[in-house]
Amino acid sequence: MKWDWKKLNLKDKNTWLILGIFGVLLLVIALPADQTGKKGSEAAQTVVEETTQQTGQERADDATAALEKRLEETLSLIDGAGKVRVMITLKDTGEKVVEKDVTRRTDTDTGGNENSDLSQSSVYEKDGSTETPYVSNEMTPQVEGVLVVAQGGGNSLVKQNILQSVMALFPLEAHKITIVKMSMQEVSDHENF
């Protein structure tokens, strides 16, 4: 198979993500292992965790932007809210739980004492010639706070309706949600679009 490098879109972040994961997999395969195999597997696990964390941040940013847009559209439908802008902050980027094989080895020494050794290694799934860590569970990022800037944010009834709506959508306490009135400059800028 011959690659057509001109057709490869290097401006697309998904392409970079795939190339990054492929590079990490090559590193994992090329890592030397000592006689017990622990050193190489620990280094490979570290590389996998760093890659998962990095791509987790990108996914969290994309998910946050989409969530903000949906929330803006929904809250702007509340009577009196008018134009709405939303900012959401997250506690974390979510988490991917990688499946692990756990091996316990128990030895009994000459004095009758038992010694246990526990070792873990990541489970990989094969897709053709590539191996990727098997993700058994993916935790979504937790919302830490919400800021709502609304045209009608100065009206107490509108504020209460927005607050109740956000609390119904996210497991947040009221003090983690702020609703403020949009400045007139921002309102006129929205109308110019």
DSSP notation for 109-167: -TTS-EEEEEEEEE-EEEETTEEEE-EEEEEPPPEEEEEEEETTTTSHHHHHHHHHHHH
| Domain presence at residue 2 | no
Banded model confidence at residue 193, pLDDT cuts 50, 70, 90: very low
Task: Please give the average per-residue pLDDT across 90-111, as a whole number.
Answer: 73
Banded model confidence at residue 64, pLDDT cuts 50, 70, 90: confident
Half-sphere exposure of 100 (CA within 13 A, CB side): 15
Whole domain around residue 108: which residue ranges? 13-191
Burial code (b: 16+ CB inside 10 Å, e: under 16) for 112-150 equals eeeeeeeeeebebeeeeeeebbeeeeeeebebebbebbb
pLDDT at 113: 77
| Domain presence at residue 3 | no
Cα 22–Cα 26–Cα 32 angle in degrees, nearest 5: 155
Banded model confidence at residue 69, pLDDT cuts 50, 70, 90: very high
| Domain presence at residue 41 | yes
| Domain presence at residue 6 | no
The DSSP output letter for 19 is H
Q: How far apart are the first and last CA of the chain?
A: 48
pLDDT at 78: 94
Does residue 112 register a pLDDT over 60?
yes
3-state secondary structure of 73: helix
Task: Please give the average per-residue pLDDT across 24-41, as a whole number.
Answer: 58
pLDDT at 94: 66
| Domain presence at residue 34 | yes
Task: Please give the average per-residue pLDDT across 50-64, as a whole number.
Answer: 65
| Domain presence at residue 102 | yes
Strands 177-181 and 143-150 turn out to be: parallel
| pLDDT mean across residues, the chain | 75
pLDDT at 61: 76
Task: Please give the average per-residue pLDDT across 38-44, as a whole number.
Answer: 52
CATH of the domain at 97: 3.30.300.30
Report the domain count for the chain. Answer: 1
| Domain presence at residue 147 | yes
pLDDT at 159: 95
